[in-house]
Structure 1
């Protein structure tokens, strides 16, 4: 059953690991809390191993399975293809799905290279002329506190943006004996902490500021060069373990970024702070229901009550929150993906272009590529091709 048939949207998903699990949850729950013009239906789950895919389909609630992504794309039951695979397959699957008239949701980063991302944008642009929609899954845009922070910036509450600082810290690779995984292979992942984590904070800051980065100066490093495989042999790590870079936005604001999977004690510390001429905002995903806001309209000192104030972003007037629980009852990681699905389904139904678009994903990819080029050139300042708004 496909789009518009009985008010349902047939979803075909390719990939069923971590992202597959959270995306499935989002598709199942979106219409149960939000008023949607179409009800998502979990139609086909694609995976390479039949036994594992069948088990995942039964667990997540998919009606059928396929062991070739082409079967998912070709299925008459599928109106939207959700891509939850490693980055080296994103372009091929997305382009084929768009050509077949299927809407596409693609996990981040959009691709493993700027060239692939450009091909995907071209395919998405052509498909849009046929009413086919596409979106890249930068889920942190759908954290209510970040969406509310964007509103504060848009309203001029912090004035002219001057400083941006963002970090994304994890520690799951700190153990040198942690096993080899696809995320540590450049041919599969494109890059390491840079693409896995850095892509998120690049998109989040460009979204918050409403502007694009124009240049970077970067350093990357690999701390552990070999990892044990399932057979006990050592395999080469071909991606970065950490990436740090400075940046400048088109409006003149300066920025700093850090992405690492070697920050012991930090499990998922995605933090962003923006300082403006009239105030500041600060966010930490490990306290995802909170936003810190400093009102500097009375000057830097602001009297004897100076300091940030904590906004608990759980009021029904805050972005997305009204569909959930009473004030003070907290949301979690999985809700950001539900919000993503809600926005995408509504855009498909009303014929609008969902954000972040593939073009937004390309803009992030250009930043990632510039970071790698800068690091290769000894941290030399490297310009970024820009185009369009954030």
Structure 2
């Protein structure tokens, strides 16, 4: 595919890539950092421009624009999509709006980056993927924001697996543990409502570890068996909220309609097996994502709380001096690191969004499909749906004595 042209007919290389972002909270700030920083660190073929940011609260979105360096602010995402000075729409909203916004942006001729999970349902994800395929024929590209693929250590792990350093994979263990819901007085935010979030820890955290496991393994899950649990079913409504009350609920509270924890096992097409845990009730765990891959010739382990390291065991070495060894992933020939600091100077969470922006800019300028694609996001959505279906079938009701 040729480099896309700008409205003035100039070739895409070195031309600006004008970004419009919808959503400005936590994830919007992270994506903004990526767009703002990528061109200052990497030699990019196109220059990201923070054209406009969108949110429903006019004062809040204007403050976010001023704080983060966006040139303009909008309060209606449809207006942002219709603007001629937007080349790419970056969707950082709750999952219930992903499909509508993405479909409209593609229809308007924009490239699209959509935060994970791709959608709230398989049907929405299928429609988005089909639209992305049609748009690709017009030179429009789409990507899902699974940022943990962009940690240098996980990218190196993928390379090592692809090189056969572990041999055939046998067993994966994946956990993602947080504790921000342990306090039962934490308010009923959108992340605790199925109509907004789609699911709880499953979609919020489980989507990440499903994608990461499939990415590192280089293959897709073929089946799952699951259980889910909701520990606190009633929570205080946010200050000023007037909706969310359910029948029988205490005044001022609303019902949690998503899972608090999801545990499931899976089998890959090759026969390798995996176990997954996702919870927001692991007291003391703030953002503890860990994955271990065990193969016939070796093992690899990654821990997000030590994200500049890999733990590697070469099972072909003599047992007398074999064992896990630490790989400090800060060398210039490690993924992404030739543009950063001298060896030993670690990176952080925010750099994954810089790398995400870098990869997407290159894909757009060079006309190749970025990964993870909407099709990758759809595959994850199908796994999440299978987990929910399995959990429903595996649920057992035990009456309370007395």
Q: Secondary structure at the match of 1:305?
A: coil
2:274 pairs with 1:255:
yes
**2:3 counterpart residue number:** none
- Equivalences for 1:1-390 in 2 at 5 Å? 4=12, 7-229=15-237, 230-231=239-240, 233-298=252-317, 302-378=318-394
Bigger Rg, which one: 2
**1:383 counterpart residue number:** none
4+ residue runs over 3 A deviation: 1-6
Root-mean-square deviation (CA), in Å?
Answer: 1.4
Question: Is the 1:15–1:47 contact (alpha carbons within 8 Å) kept by the matching residues of 2?
Answer: yes
Give the Cα–Cα distance (whole angstroms) in 1 for the partners of residues 79 and 37 of structure 2: 25
- Tell me how far 1:6 sits from its aligned partner: 6.9
- Tell me how far 1:7 sits from its aligned partner: 1.3
Give the Cα–Cα distance (whole angstroms) in 2 for the partners of residues 18 and 97 of structure 1: 22
Give the Cα–Cα distance (whole angstroms) in 2 for the partners of residues 98 and 71 of structure 1: 14
Give the Cα–Cα distance (whole angstroms) in 1 for the partners of residues 322 and 202 of structure 2: 36
Give the Cα–Cα distance (whole angstroms) in 1 for the partners of residues 319 and 219 of structure 2: 32
- Tell me how far 1:170 sits from its aligned partner: 0.3
Give the aligned length: 377
Structure 1 unpaired stretches of 5+: 381-390
Give the Cα–Cα distance (whole angstroms) in 2 for the partners of residues 6 and 78 of structure 1: 16
- Could you tell me the TM-score, scaled by structure 1's length? 0.95
Q: Secondary structure at the match of 1:118?
A: helix
Q: Secondary structure at the match of 2:43?
A: coil
Q: Secondary structure at the match of 2:176?
A: strand
Structure 2 unpaired stretches of 5+: 1-5, 241-250, 397-402
Give the Cα–Cα distance (whole angstroms) in 2 for the partners of residues 126 and 221 of structure 1: 39
- Tell me how far 1:307 sits from its aligned partner: 1.5
Give the Cα–Cα distance (whole angstroms) in 2 for the partners of residues 167 and 308 of structure 1: 20
Question: Is the 1:217–1:379 contact (alpha carbons within 8 Å) kept by the matching residues of 2?
Answer: no
Give the Cα–Cα distance (whole angstroms) in 2 for the partners of residues 59 and 109 of structure 1: 27
Question: Is the 1:219–1:375 contact (alpha carbons within 8 Å) kept by the matching residues of 2?
Answer: yes
Give the Cα–Cα distance (whole angstroms) in 2 for the partners of residues 127 and 13 of structure 1: 19
Give the Cα–Cα distance (whole angstroms) in 1 for the partners of residues 56 and 13 of structure 2: 29
- Could you tell me the TM-score, scaled by structure 2's length? 0.92
